[in-house]
Structure 1
Amino acid sequence: MRLSISANLFNGNLEHIFTLFTEYGITHVDLTHTDVKADARSLENLVDLSNRYNISFNSASGLREYGGNTNHIHEYDTEMARTYIRASKRLNCKTLVVTAPTIRSKDIDQKKIINDLRILANMALPYNINIALKVLPWSPYIGSYESAQDIIAAVNSPNFGLALDTFLFICDAENLDVLETLPVDKIFIVQCSDLAVTLIDSLEELIDADRSKRLLPGDGYFHDDIKHICNTLTSKGYHSPFSVYANGNSYHDMSHEALLQRICQISLA
Structure 2
Amino acid sequence: MTHRRSVQEALRGFGMDTITLAGPLEAKLEAMQQAGFGQVMLKANDLVGHPQGWKAAVHAVRRSGLRGTGFQVLRDFEGLSGHLHDYKVDIAKTMLEMCAELACDVLLACSSTSIHASQDPDQMARDLHKLSMLAVPFGIRIAYEGLSWGRSVSEYTTAWDVVCRADSPNLGLCIDSFHILAAKTPLDALADIDPDKIYLVQLSDFLWQEARTMEERIATARTYRVFPGEGVHTDPIIEMVLILERMGYRGDYSFEVFNDDFVQMPLPMVAQRACNSALWLADDVLRRSMPLPNQLKLRSVHSAP
Q: TM-score, normalised by structure 1?
A: 0.92
**1:132 is matched with which residue?**
143
Query: More deviation in 117-126 or 95-104?
Result: 95-104
Matches within 5 A, 1:9-158: 9-35=20-46, 37=48, 42-105=53-116, 109-158=120-169
Cα contact 1:69–1:108 (8 A) shared by 2: no
Q: Distance in 1 between matches of 2:258 and 2:118?
A: 33
Residue identity matched to 1:201: R
- Quote how far apart the aligned CAs of 1:86 are: 0.8
1-structure distance, mates of 2:273, 2:63: 25
Q: Which shifted more, 45-54 or 183-192? A: 45-54
**Aligned partners of 1:33 and 1:63 also within 8 Å:** no
In structure 2, distance between residues paired with 1:210 and 1:255: 22
**1:4 correspondence with 2:15:** yes
Structure 2 residue matching 1:74: 3-state secondary structure: helix
User: 1:196·1:221 contact (CA, 8 Å) conserved in 2?
Assistant: yes
Q: Tell me, in whole angstroms, the C-alpha distance in 2 between the residues paired with 1:39 and 1:208.
A: 27
Over aligned residues, Cα RMSD in angstroms?
A: 2.1
Q: Which runs of 5 or more structure 2 residues have no equivalent in the other structure?
A: 1-11, 286-305
1:197-208 correspondence to structure 2 within 5 Å: 197-208=208-219
The TM-score, its normalising length taken from structure 2, stands at 0.81
Helix, strand or coil for the counterpart of 2:172? strand
Aligned partner of 1:232 in structure 2 is 243
User: Which is further off, 198-207 or 187-196?
Assistant: 198-207
> Which of 216, 226, 230 is the aligned partner of 1:219?
230
Matched residue SS, 1:197: coil
Out of 218-227 and 120-129, give the one that drifted further: 218-227
Cα deviation, 1:129-165, whole Å, max 9, x if unaligned, reads 0101110233232222222222111111111000101
> What secondary structure, in the 3-state scheme, does the structure 2 residue paired with 1:15 have?
helix
Task: Quote how far apart the aligned CAs of 1:196 are.
Answer: 0.5
Identity among equivalent positions (%) equals: 26
Matching of residues 149-168 of structure 1 within 5 Å: 149-168=160-179
The reply on whether 1:184 has 2:191 as its aligned counterpart is: no
Across the two proteins, how many residue pairs are aligned to each other?
Answer: 269
Structure 2 residue matching 1:23: 3-state secondary structure:
helix
Name the SS of the counterpart of 1:171 in structure 2. Answer: helix
Pair 1:212–1:47, CA change in 2 (3 A): same
Which residue does 1:262 correspond to in 2?
273
User: Post-superposition shift, 1:114?
Assistant: 1.8
Aligned position for 2:258 = 247
| 8 Å contact kept, 1:36–1:88 | no
Q: Which amino acid aligns with 2:72?
A: S
Distance 1:106 1:257 in 2: 42
The 1:30–1:167 alpha-carbon spacing in structure 2 relative to 1, beyond 3 Å, is same
Letter in structure 1 aligned against 2:84: I
Q: Separation in 1 of the partners of 2:119 and 2:80?
A: 6
What SS does structure 1 have at the residue aligned with 2:205? coil
Aligned to 2:226, what secondary structure does the other structure show? coil
